[in-house]
Chain A
């Protein structure tokens, strides 16, 4: 197990921001923490990154409590931060080569560290910008540099906190390709947070839905749709009159519809329950106070 979390609790004053959160992430998995703003995603990931102490519970990242992580441990973990203006006067390649030099002391025969700066610049598609100042990069380029900074020590586990917030759709797609490439080529385990369902669906093997400080769902995109989506919607008309019916078995329902009404059935439309519906339904249910057991 790369990440193990048992009964995690985070309390500010009398408010529980995280309440009995438990989950695990296996080697080589890409897991998304999905939830609306204020759900506790960032608090969770900051505890796992070792940037914040939890109030109660057991947390192990690569077998170590992140609150007591040594530099050795730090070298095995990559953090992609939300960038702003830092290191603006450094050049892209220069910054990566320099930050990489911190990892040289932690190189092992299995994992040679750091990642060669030229190869890394190429891997994140910044070869043309290698000698450009960081402050002159576009938003999407800057984000790819942030991933490169997170990956320069060849981490076994990479954290991404809201990685595509503020990116345009094109830059977002490029970013997704980049992360998928890292995972495929290097077997990196990834834990990311996002409030964007489509992003969780594209990137993650598994999705943890966090709401109000609790995990309300844990599974693949298909699992979630199956377990929480509720019913498909069937619409049709007979003799100009419109009908709508919700049913868990839309195909069987349609067959029965034809068996009874034959060719009178017109304008047939079946809307499968999408994960988006299930996510919105989950969030709505969670917000109205009815917690859903995962």
Chain B
């Protein structure tokens, strides 16, 4: 199993390079750029603590793009099962480990690209975003814990989805979760029930952690309890990360065990029928 780690890392880097060259790069840049443009257009509405709306919303958007890594995982997994990539990994010693490590690297790299575009673009175009005042230590641990937590959820969801169409259905609750997690509307504006739901999942905490890193401490008054709650942030993100690291490999191995030449052939026939 350990033998798959290095090839997996290499695989992730090669596929990351493939996914950011050519026309795919346009697809990847579309969402961060559109979001950035929206932030620039809305930036001058005033918020408490002397912040502009743009500067206030930017950290939440960074958190959202980290969480969107979940959907990338779901898409990759359902496509890779359909076209036989997972089965090929299964036929190779250490292949499943390598496949998973590779996916984590590719998706983390892609998410890193989104975050870099939003942060760099925000620093250039949005008043009140100043990279010199960002708490980079907080930024780094929130980012790392968030990547592990959200992607292990994404891999489990991807393993449970049966078809590319199913991957579409899974993205609905994820988008819904983002909507109640305080990215665009402050979570304090929601009913207490929704606030409780949002605080169970990592998306809200990603946004909160990023705000703690980017915004002055005075801005914490707008949060639940009037604090950045760093301990709670670390606890919830850490718990999801631990659960994910324990559960995801088992679920993925179970998924891979079900792959065989005939199951791939059956999906291919179904897909070709859809095309016809």
- Taking beta carbons and an 8 Å cutoff, which residues of A are in contact with B? 42-43, 45-46, 49, 51-52, 71-72, 74-75, 79, 81-90, 94, 98-99, 101-103, 105-106, 149-150, 153, 161
Contact = CB atoms under 8 A, between A and B. Distances in A.
B84 A102 contact: no
B7 A84 contact: no
A103 B84 CA distance: 20
Nearest to A52: B260
Contact of B18 (A49, A75, A89, A105): A89
A103 B91 contact: no
Nearest to A89: B18
Given A42-B262, A43-B262, A51-B259, 13 more contacts: A46-B260, A51-B261, A52-B260, A71-B1, A74-B93, A81-B264, A82-B84, A83-B84, A86-B85, A90-B14, A101-B7, A102-B92, A102-B95
B3 A71 contact: yes
B54 interface: no
A149 B95 CA distance: 13
B94 A51 contact: no
Nearest to B257: A51
B92 A98 contact: no
B3 A82 contact: no
B106 to A, nearest CB: 12
B262 A81 contact: no
B84 A81 contact: yes
Contacts of A74: 91-93, 95
Interface of B: 1, 3-4, 6-7, 10-11, 14-15, 18, 80, 83-85, 87-88, 90-95, 98, 259-262, 264-265, 268
Nearest to A103: B93
Given A102-B4, A102-B94, A84 B261 contact: no
A153 B6 CA distance: 17
A49 B91 contact: yes
Contacts of A85: 83-84
A52 B83 CA distance: 19
Contact of B88 (A43, A75, A87): A87
Interface centre among A46, A99, A153, A161 (most CB of B within 10 A): A99
Given A85-B83, A94-B14, A161 B261 contact: yes
Contacts of A105: 3, 93-94
B18 A102 contact: no
B260 A102 contact: no
The 9 A-B residue pairs with the shortest CB-CB distance, nearest first, are A105-B3, A71-B93, A51-B260, A75-B93, A79-B91, A86-B85, A74-B93, A85-B83, A86-B84
Contacts of B93: 71-72, 74-75, 102-103, 105-106, 153
A101 B6 CA distance: 9
A251 B64 CA distance: 85
B14 A84 contact: no
B261 A46 contact: yes
Given A101-B7, A105-B3, A81 B92 contact: no
Given A74-B93, A102-B4, A82 B11 contact: no
Given A46-B261, A161-B261, A71 B94 contact: yes
Contacts of B85: 86-87
Contacts of B4: 102
A46 B259 CA distance: 10
A256 to B, nearest CB: 54
A102 B92 CA distance: 7
| Among B6, B18, B98: residue with most chain A CB under 10 A | B18
A161 B264 CA distance: 13
In this complex, which of A49, A82, A102, A106 has the most chain B Cβ atoms within 10 angstroms of its Cβ? A102
Contacts of A49: 91, 261
B22 to A, nearest CB: 9
A7 to B, nearest CB: 22
Nearest to B90: A51
